[in-house]
Amino acid sequence: MEKNVKSIILAAGKGTRMKSETPKVLHKIFNKELLGYVLDEVNKTGEISENFVIVGHKAEEVEKFVENHYENAKCLLQSPQLGTGHAAFQAYEDLKGFEGEVIILNGDIPLLTTGTLKKFIENHRKNNAALTVLSAIFENPQNYGRIIRDENGNLSAIVEEKDATPEQKAVNEINTGVYLLDWAKVSPAFLNLDSNNAQGEYYLTDIVKWTISNGLKAQSFILEDNTESFGINSKAQLAQAAKILKNRVINRLLEDGVTIVDPETTYISPDTEIAPDVIIYPCTYIEGKNKIGKDCKIGPFARLRGGVELGEGVKIGNFVEIKNSKIKNHTNVSHLSYVGDSELGSNVNIGAGTITANYNHATKEKFCTKINDGASTGSNSVLVAPVELGENASIGAGTVVSKDIPAFALGLTRAPLKIFADWFKKSK
């Protein structure tokens, strides 16, 4: 399928209410940036050829994130910041001559889904619209721009709350800030924006007024689930979005045959794949991108930090942390252990309190630990990477492993036990 859609993602704002030095769009849910959610969902539509990310506040940080993660995205600087219409206009030169569709959306809406975006695009094309606004219905639409319709129910304008009359404020259909436009037809609107409003800014919503006044078709497409329009402007809203997202993920996993003992205390990222018949025990936190095979048991009080692949029948015990590791079938990682940057074979047994020491704090390098099929570690072992345990090798309790252990060998570092008879009697 030919990709003939480009996106403009508004990510220039400071996010003053976040009260943080971190740019708003780089705040995270499940250790993934808000902007990352938006870019991923847009890209997964399969329609997007290029994304333009409009940056402003701490532009270098946002640009670095985009450059490191997205090949089809280009950052454009908005300076000074004169409103949403001015922000989108920063892509005007790059889009000269483009004859496809452009979707414009904010970089702080992590709950918007690929499915909704696909329906949005399909509806726009089906109705031969020049411009489509994504709208939502709220019982209390305070602080949102209102969708205003004429006597025939057709879209006539979008009015910001600060500029709205009491009658307009009573409208409960709101603008989500997501637009789809036929670029060749609607792009001249950006040359006709003005700042004659309460804020003295160039509003993106004014392109709707321009579209209608020029005899072009403008419409709105109402969201089925209004939580998808949820924008992040504070830490409280960030936490609220995280809870909505985790509930959405858990409900889907339950329908797919995953057992989640306590959904209230379990957090699982949307980028984690979990096969049926997996059991997730309470107070488990799974972030990042992971893949978990059938019949695994995880928790309670376990944490997967991303980059984790579990085969079938793997057991991750309580108070275990796993990061960037592949673990094959029927391996057990017992309680109070840390496994990072590691490869574990099948039928491996990791004793309680085992640590893979994978990080050199002096050089800032991380190294791999490899444990082959059938190997085992005793309680409170430390494996200093890079290191490898051969097949069926064994490590005694309390051992510090600093070199490779051959197959079927026993590795042991333990000081002789000394017993001082009647020591307590003498000390008293």
The 3-state DSSP composition of the chain as helix, strand, coil percent (nearest 5) reads 25, 30, 45
Residues of the chain predicted below pLDDT 70: 1-2, 428
Are residues 361 and 215 part of one domain? no
Query: Would you state the structure tokens that stand for residue 40, as one six-digit string?
Result: 């991923």
Are residues 276 and 213 part of one domain? no
d(Cα 241, Cα 105) in Å, to the nearest integer?
A: 17
Contact 72, 9 (CB under 8 A): no
Position 101 in a domain = yes
Handedness of CA 231, 237, 240, 242 (dihedral sign): positive
Position 417 in a domain = no
Name the domain boundary from 229, 256, 286: 229
The whole-number pLDDT of residue 2 equals 61
Are residues 293 and 168 part of one domain? no
Position 134 in a domain = yes
The per-residue pLDDT for range 209-226, each reduced to its tens digit, is 999 999 999 999 999 999
Name the domain boundary from 229, 262, 278: 229
CATH of the domain at 242: 2.160.10.10
The per-residue pLDDT for range 50-92, each reduced to its tens digit, is 999 999 999 999 999 999 999 999 999 999 999 999 999 999 9
Are residues 239 and 223 part of one domain? no
**Active site residue: 69, 124, 335, 361, which one?**
335
d(Cα 55, Cα 364) in Å, to the nearest integer?
A: 30
CB atoms within 10 A of CB 119: 15
Position 153 in a domain = yes
Domain count for the chain, please give it: 2
Are residues 290 and 214 part of one domain? no
CATH of the domain at 171: 3.90.550.10
Are residues 307 and 222 part of one domain? no
- Measure the CA dihedral 328/333/338/341, to 10°: -10
Our measurement of the distance from residue 163's CA atom to the centroid of its chain's CA atoms, rounded to an integer in Å, reads: 34
The whole-number pLDDT of residue 176 equals 96
The whole-number pLDDT of residue 359 equals 84
Contact 179, 7 (CB under 8 A): no
Q: What is the pTM of this model?
A: 0.92
Query: Would you state the structure tokens that stand for residue 204, as one six-digit string?
Result: 């993106």
Residue 330 bears catalytic tag: no
Position 47 in a domain = yes
Query: Would you state the structure tokens that stand for residue 418, as one six-digit string?
Result: 């000394």
The whole-number pLDDT of residue 217 equals 93
Are residues 338 and 225 part of one domain? no
How much is the mean pLDDT over the chain? 95
Are residues 294 and 217 part of one domain? no
Please report the beta strands in 123-223, taking only residues with DSSP state E, as ranges in sequence order: 131-137, 146-149, 155-159, 173-182, 218-222
- Tokens 């060749």 belong to 184
Position 352 in a domain = yes
**Domain that includes residue 23, residue range:** 5-229
Q: How many CA atoms lie within 13 A of 58 on its CB side?
A: 16
Map residue 64 onto helix, strand or coil.
Answer: helix
Are residues 241 and 218 part of one domain? no
